[in-house]
Every structure is written in structure tokens, then in C-alpha cells.
Amino acid sequence: MLYGCEAWATTKTARKKLAVAQRRMERRMTGVRLVDHCSNDWVRCVTKIKDVTETATRRKRSFAWNIANASAGKWPTRIEAWRPPTTRPQERPTTRWTDDFTKKLNFRNWPRSGRQEAHSSWCNWECDNL
């Protein structure tokens, strides 16, 4: 379910869809139907599965820290630093992969912040799913 989540540009809608899909799968695994009126918390306690959105966010942060601390010649660093030669259209901009970090850290040069912090503190912000 989380294959390649490190590179997702997640929106609130996408995170909500992931959470709904996970709850449906957990209900299916436990054999509980919606008609049974069992809470999501109860189903989560029975299955003991971690939340998908939190796991995806942590994996994305870990990948971002690895990019920030990689040498300049590595391809993920070069791809992240690349900017297209054209301008973006005059409509609402699409969500970029790095928008989560720029919004959370309040500045655009998030790789510099990633180089200054330890891996554990970078990956364990409070998980508010940005």
C-alpha cells in the first residue's frame, strides 16, 4: 500500500483516501462489517497495524533527510535541485513533493535544515500529516 510513498506529493484528499482504504482493509481482515457498529479504534486495537498516513509521512521525511545529506553528485539530489526551464501555468499550482517541508520549516532551503539536524529528530516531528 505504501510502495514509493517517499516520492508522493500528498494532499489532504489523498491522505484521507489512504486512511479510508486502510480502515476498509482492516475491517475486511477482522470480518467486521459497518452494520456491526464497531469503532475504528477497536478495529485498530484488534489488528495492531500502524496508521498508513503516519508511516508514509515518516518514510517521506526519512527519504528527504537522506537526500539532504547525500553528496551533490548523487542523482536524487540532482533531480531535487533541477528546475524546469519553463514557468508554471497561471492557475493554482499543483502540490510538489517538497511543499510539505517548505511549509513545515517556513523556508525553502529545507536541505540545509536537514543537514543540520540528526536523522531521528528530522524524522520524528509531531505527526500532524502536514
Q: Which pLDDT tens digit goes with each residue over 14-31?
A: 899 999 999 999 999 999
| Cα-Cα-Cα-Cα dihedral sign, residues 41, 47, 48, 51 | negative
At 27 the pLDDT is 93
Whether pLDDT at 52 is above 60: yes
Contact status, residue 56 vs residue 2, Cβ threshold 8 Å: yes
Residue 3, classified by CB atoms within 10 Å of its CB into exposed (0-12), middle (13-18) or buried (19+), is exposed
* Residue 36, amino acid: D
More confident residue, 93 or 34: 34
Specify the residue for cell string 483516501.
17
Task: Break the chain into its structural domains and give their ranges.
Answer: 11-49, 50-79+96-129
- 110 pLDDT more than 80: no
Instruction: Round to whole Å and give the CA distance between 17 and 79.
Output: 28
Q: Specify whether the backbone of 48 is left (phi greater than 0), alpha (psi in -120 to 50) or beta.
A: left
Q: What is the mean pLDDT of residues 36-52?
A: 91
Local confidence band at 123 (pLDDT 50, 70, 90 cut-offs): low
Predicted confidence band of residue 90 (pLDDT cuts 50, 70, 90): confident
CA distances from 45 to 2, 40, 49, 116 (A): 21, 9, 8, 37
